[in-house]
Amino acid sequence: MNYTFHWLPAFRAVPDMLAGALVTLEIATLSMVLGVFFAILLAVGSSSNYRALRAVAISWVELARNTPALFQIYMAYFGLGSLGIHLDSFVALLAGITFNNAGYLAETFRGGLRAVPPTQMRAARSLGMGQIQAFRLVVMPQMFRIVFYPLTNQMVWAILMTSLGVVVGLNDDLTGVTQELNVRSFRTFEYFAMAAVIYYLLAKFVTASARLMEWRLFRY
């Protein structure tokens, strides 16, 4: 081994890395909120009677699920940039991850919707609820119960995807901060090891909070 670990100077970088982790969490959370919103539209849209709506929804889901997230983020920045639309790095990364999230979540929601028996809708309508009201008050809550686990999974995935922001010039998220510390001092292994631990803890934190939320939300 021709490398001696310098842990002490590396530990001094922890506050900077935690500040980066906060940006990471912020992007991931925003992308989940937006992703869920678009995914519901996509899930409804892909079974819509309007052909154009169906086409848009299906192509979104197909593209999001069958091309690398890296390309989606790269396209949001440099692809749109070549058309003269300039998103800054933060927005481009957010757009890329949201696009990806929405695609995966749409499929999850579609599965969730199909798992809610159609009789629920009929029962709600027979009680005098409107279509949208019945969907919102009866079908959606049941669907969310079914898709909650995959949703948590997607949130963890979103956190990990934020690391791709470095390719579009984002340098204040966890990976960006780490990469800059790395090039500045060449202490690659210490910084990457610490970043890995922080990502791990972020992911665990998300899973744990999801458990807590689940327990609060879904008890009878």
- Rounded to whole angstroms, what are the CA distances from 74 to 16, 38, 44, 147, 161? 26, 20, 28, 29, 13
Please identify which residue in 122, 184, 204, 211 interacts with other proteins, judged by CB under 8 A.
184
Binding flag, residue 77, other proteins (CB under 8 A): yes
What radius of gyration, in Å, describes the C-alpha atoms of the chain? 21
d(CA 69, CA 65) in angstroms, rounded, equals 9
Q: What residues between 32 and 71 interact with other proteins by CB under 8 A?
A: none
Ramachandran region of residue 116, left (φ > 0), alpha (ψ -120 to 50) or beta?
A: beta
Minimum gap (Å) between residue 23 Cβ and other proteins = 14
At a CB cut-off of 8 Å and minimum separation 6, what does 19 contact? 172, 177
Q: Which stretch binds other proteins (CB under 8 A): 107-115, 131-139, 140-148, 182-190?
A: 182-190
By residue count, the chain amounts to: 220
Binding flag, residue 8, other proteins (CB under 8 A): no
Contact flags string 87-106 toward other proteins, x per CB under 8 A: -xx-----------------
Binding flag, residue 166, other proteins (CB under 8 A): yes
Give the distance, in angstroms, between the CA of residue 30 and the centroid of all CA atoms in the same chain: 8
Binding flag, residue 163, other proteins (CB under 8 A): no
Binding flag, residue 182, other proteins (CB under 8 A): yes
**Dihedrals phi, psi of 83, to nearest 5 degrees:** -95, 5
Cβ nearer to other proteins, comparing 185 with 207: 185
Nearest to 157 by CA among 118, 202, 112, 92: 202
d(CA 60, CA 109) in angstroms, rounded, equals 15
Minimum gap (Å) between residue 9 Cβ and other proteins = 8
Minimum gap (Å) between residue 136 Cβ and other proteins = 41
Q: Which stretch binds other proteins (CB under 8 A): 111-119, 129-137, 169-177, 202-210?
A: 169-177
Binding flag, residue 204, other proteins (CB under 8 A): no
- Contacts with other proteins by CB under 8 A lie at 2-3, 6, 77-78, 81-82, 84, 86, 88-89, 166-167, 169-171, 176, 179-180, 182-189
